[in-house]
Amino acid sequence: MHRITGKTGGENLIEMSPAESFNDDLNGYSQHASSSTGSFQHGQSGIDRQQHSKDSVFFRDGVRRIDFVLSYVDDKAGERKQERRKVYEANLAKVGLELETEDKSESEDGKTYFVKIHAPWEVLATYADVLKIKVPFKVNDIPEKSEMPMNWLSTPFRLPEHIMQPEPDYFTAPFNKSKSDFFLIDNKETFFPPSTRNRIVYYILSRCSYYRDECDDKDKKGIKRLLNNGTYTAAFPLHDCRYWIRSRDLNCESERNNLYKHWAGFWYFFKEQPLNLIRKYYGEKIGIYFAWLGFYTEMLLFAAVVGTICFLYGFLTYDDSQWTKEICSEEIGGNIIMCPLCDKKCSYWKLNTTCNSSWQSNLFDNVGTLFFAIFMGIWVTLFLEFWKRREARLEYDWDLVDFEEEQQQLQLRPEYETKCTKRKLNRITQETEWVLERTSTDLMGKLVLCWATVILWISLIIACIIGVIAYRLAVYAAFASIMKDSPTNNLQVVGPFITPQLATSVTASCINFVIIMILNLMYERVAIWITDMEIPKTHLEYENKLTVKMFLFQFVNYYSSCFYVAFFKGKFVGYPGNYGYMFGKWSKLRNEECDPGGCLIELTTQLVIVMTGKQVWGNIQEALVPWLMNWWGSRKARNHPESLYSRWEQDHDLQSFGQLGLFYEYLEMVIQFGFITLFVASFPLAPLLALINNIIEIRVDAWKLTTQFRRPVAAKAHSIGAWEEILSGVAVLSVVTNAFIVAFTSDMIPRLVYMYVYNPTGKMDMKGYINNSLSVFNISAFEEENKPESDEYPSWFNSSITTCRYRDYRYPPGHLKQYSHSLQFWHILAAKLAFIIIMEHVVFSVKFFVAWMIPDVPSDVRARVKRERYLVQEYLHNYEVEKLKVQLSQNSNNECTCNPMIYPSLDKHEVLSECL
């Protein structure tokens, strides 16, 4: 037998290829090699590995399914570890799990032991009862809705029915072990799907002690601690087959192969996602993430179409901009002399030199932008409201209704349980439960320390942003001096676009992006550390606390530079003769003025660099890093093609998805959501870029999860958690930010005020706007430190030029109120504030009306929930009545009373004791 590490065409694969495998039809060891009970001890291998299939997910007997695998390396200084493993595995056997160990001599590297774990029916039934896992009791009898008209149009986007609906639709109820015959149990071995089985086993593993006297040392408990201290190297459930080929065992579902074929391939980007299959294989928590990501991408399609239309409107009206024509004309723009943009190194310049940036600004700064800002305020409301409906439907379809109430107390973190010292009565459940005693001083001290750390890191970000601003101020003068005689000025196509403003903005944005990525890596560990220190009670509480800290940090980290350009740059520059300085005049760092084309084009540049850079880097990191690590980790296996490379070894060589794997996926998408909502008025093409990225993101996430990562432990989640509240907060903030961008960053309001009030001709046009929007300054009033150096003066400058112009609305020299703000300035300010108030009220009114009109739960889902609850009560009542009749009948005949169940009553295995 030869094991090849790649498919045809040279594609490197981590697992065994479909080429030549001896006896591949076998799905376990031959029956004579079976081990019926208990743990397979070290050194008792002696099994012919050639009789074993590389796709086996069973014990050696070929019957008992492997629900979980633990791996470890028995190092020289490992006596304590060996003792822990011995006690831990003995305790696992006590609660009913069956273990079988693969000796290191049978492993690929000759060093690793593999402990295979099987949960028999009795254990599964007991813990399914404890965890209130919902199972089917009746086939769904509610007729499906009739097909929509023109439904055939969606045929190209559909997947085969057996992929979209891998299981029949049932009514379900929480499992009750004492009433097993109430449920639709055809086969005990397949009744609980593999994802439910591995969830139950992990629940046991995370709470089982590795100390002999369990009640003496509660802290020594759980697989997580054993992984942290190196007792075990990995713990994971198995994939059911190799991803590119189906398992030859008819008892294996080969769902991984179905996911790879119909979901993980980029050529399926236009197809719907097999959400039910994802949920069945990976669990509800991962399933709901991909449901949300898919829905978000669908909704982005509408925003992208409208944004593209608005951009095309700006492009098609490119030549109709009267103010741009005036800037570019020799008669107007060529005769307007502008004041220097920096001290000493910047000289006087003609307005028509900014012709290109003015044209660029007009692509985004037009009436279409205003319409799009209002549209996005409504779009984000529709997105959130329709997602609530989709979430409610998934909550019902995936048996998550009442999940929070029934199961949240059963999801306590082992790290919390180990710190508990006393029990307390729960007033709601009237049951005693473990609680963590905390003094007010200890609680307050930890709270202050945690949030002081968060504030410290946010302050560090702000300091970095101030540093980047200082860089912009310092290098602008240098670029202005260097680039006036630069060879790039002679380039016919790009020469006019390479300006000191552009060079400063692009380099500062790139530096800011690098700082953002570095700070992200550093803060990630800090956030996890301070969240661990708080000792949250449940997994949901842990993730919510971490979510708030990480998002708050990321919000400041990613958006602060955009907020600076949008709302602060160019707003505090002062005027010639009285300029504003960043740290006072002694710093000589004069506050930045906007690009002559306006600050909106600079905000667009900043947004494109940070948003696009983050998305490209994120996709490369997500896809390339796991693949390279797996390729490197499997190099030893490639050097020994004669060995078997079993199912558990293949999965062991893959990357671990980790408890926070989904957290980072959500964080990436929510940050992107902020970019396309908070600053979309400056860049209508942002939703289009996000749409393209998300189409790739779905398939990249699917590919890496299916091929490059171990199978995650299935987990339940009835919603996207704290992210939903964050999205709602960003949606509200986006209305405010876009209103301020249109009012204060864009030039739209000053233009409208001029057209309706200050146009001297009285016509509804923009002629004369440029001259009206520029104030006059007397050159002779310049202070010495503001004047250009003698060698910086342009060749056309002469003594006849006595005044220069600058962007502001101030009275001219010689006026009684010279250089103070004119009446037009206050009219424009009032118009800006009025616009903000009107836009916010209009958008918020529409938002609340839409939210009120669209119910969170669809009517058919409400009907199904009521129907299911009614059936559960009716069926349970009838079940108890029939059971009572049988017992009374047996008593009347003086016969032995016994439970009329499909399965006889079995001795319960020991459930983990309360002291765990």
Give the Å distances, CA to CA, from 385 to 508, 848, 849.
38, 10, 11
Euclidean distance between CA atoms 799 and 804, whole angstroms: 12
Inform me whether the pLDDT recorded for 899 exceeds 80. Answer: no
- At CA 766, angle to CA 762 and CA 768, rounded to 5? 85
Euclidean distance between CA atoms 691 and 104, whole angstroms: 48
Cβ contacts of residue 900 below 8 Å, gap of 6+?
181, 883, 886, 887
Region 44-57 average pLDDT: 54
pLDDT band for position 912 (50/70/90)?
Answer: very low
* CA terminus-to-terminus distance, the chain: 48
Which SS3 state, helix, strand or coil, does residue 193 take? coil
H or E element, residue 88: helix 79-94
- At CA 497, angle to CA 491 and CA 498, rounded to 5? 75
- At CA 52, angle to CA 46 and CA 58, rounded to 5? 100
DSSP letter assigned to residue 212: S
Contact 901, 180 (CB under 8 A): yes
Percent of the chain with pLDDT over 90: 28
Inform me whether the pLDDT recorded for 752 exceeds 70. Answer: yes
Region 17-28 average pLDDT: 37
Average pLDDT, rounded, for the chain = 81
Torsions phi, psi for 188 (to 5 deg): -60, -30
pLDDT at residue number 303: 95
List, for residues 484-537, the tens digit of each pLDDT value: 555 544 444 444 556 677 777 778 878 888 888 888 878 878 888 888 888 887
393: its two tokens: 């439907």
Inform me whether the pLDDT recorded for 911 exceeds 60. Answer: no
Inform me whether the pLDDT recorded for 90 exceeds 90. Answer: yes
Euclidean distance between CA atoms 677 and 376, whole angstroms: 7
State the SS3 of 702-738: HHHHHHHECCCCCCCCCCCCHHHHHHHHHHHHHHHHH
More confident residue, 142 or 178: 178
Q: Which residue has the tokens 């992208």?
A: 304
Helix 275-282 to helix 284-316 angle (10° resolution) is 140
771: its two tokens: 């001259």
List, for residues 424-447, the tens digit of each pLDDT value: 776 655 666 667 766 666 667 777
Among residues 804, 334, 328, 368, the alpha carbon closest in space to that of 600 is found at: 368
Give the Å distances, CA to CA, from 273 to 151, 279, 291, 385, 719.
18, 11, 8, 21, 18
| Torsion sign over Cα 176, 179, 181, 187 | positive
Euclidean distance between CA atoms 232 and 688, whole angstroms: 46
Which SS3 state, helix, strand or coil, does residue 450 take? helix
Which residues are paired to 65 by β-bridges?
A: 58
Inform me whether the pLDDT recorded for 119 exceeds 50. Answer: yes
pLDDT at residue number 443: 65
Among the ranges given (539-553, 596-610, 710-724), the one the predictor scored with the smallest mean pLDDT: 596-610
Going across the sheet that includes 68-73, the strands are 98-102, 112-118, 68-73, 234-236
Euclidean distance between CA atoms 591 and 173, whole angstroms: 66
Which residues are paired to 350 by β-bridges?
A: 337
List, for residues 603-648, the tens digit of each pLDDT value: 888 888 888 888 888 888 888 888 888 887 766 555 554 456 788 9
Inform me whether the pLDDT recorded for 45 exceeds 50. Answer: no
pLDDT at residue number 494: 44
Q: Which residue has the tokens 């206050």?
A: 826
List, for residues 774-814, the tens digit of each pLDDT value: 999 999 888 888 888 888 888 888 888 899 999 899 999 98
Which SS3 state, helix, strand or coil, does residue 433 take? strand
User: Per-residue DSSP letters for 549-600?
Assistant: HHHHHHHHHHHHHHHHHHHTTTTS-EETTEE-BSS-GGG--BPPPPPTT-HH
List, for residues 252-277, the tens digit of each pLDDT value: 888 999 999 999 988 888 899 999 99
Euclidean distance between CA atoms 580 and 59, whole angstroms: 77
Which SS3 state, helix, strand or coil, does residue 424 take? strand
Give the Å distances, CA to CA, from 781 to 341, 786, 798, 818.
16, 10, 17, 12
Cα atoms in the 13 Å half-sphere on the side-chain side of 801 = 16
- At CA 749, angle to CA 747 and CA 755, rounded to 5? 105
Euclidean distance between CA atoms 140 and 869, whole angstroms: 13
Euclidean distance between CA atoms 755 and 744, whole angstroms: 18
Among residues 180, 191, 202, the alpha carbon closest in space to that of 69 is found at: 202
Where on the phi/psi map is residue 237: left (φ > 0), alpha (ψ -120 to 50), or beta? beta
- At CA 782, angle to CA 776 and CA 783, rounded to 5? 155
Contact 319, 344 (CB under 8 A): no
H or E element, residue 623: helix 599-633
Contact 290, 700 (CB under 8 A): no
Euclidean distance between CA atoms 380 and 731, whole angstroms: 6
Give the Å distances, CA to CA, from 577 to 101, 777, 819.
83, 9, 9
Domain map of the chain by residue range? 68-273, 751-782+797-853
Euclidean distance between CA atoms 234 and 42, whole angstroms: 18
Inform me whether the pLDDT recorded for 69 exceeds 90. Answer: yes
Region 558-570 average pLDDT: 86
Euclidean distance between CA atoms 247 and 54, whole angstroms: 9
Region 315-330 average pLDDT: 85
List, for residues 156-190, the tens digit of each pLDDT value: 888 988 899 888 888 888 898 888 888 988 889 88
Cβ contacts of residue 531 below 8 Å, gap of 6+?
450, 542, 545, 546, 549
Which residues are paired to 209 by β-bridges?
A: 221
Which residues are paired to 803 by β-bridges?
A: 778
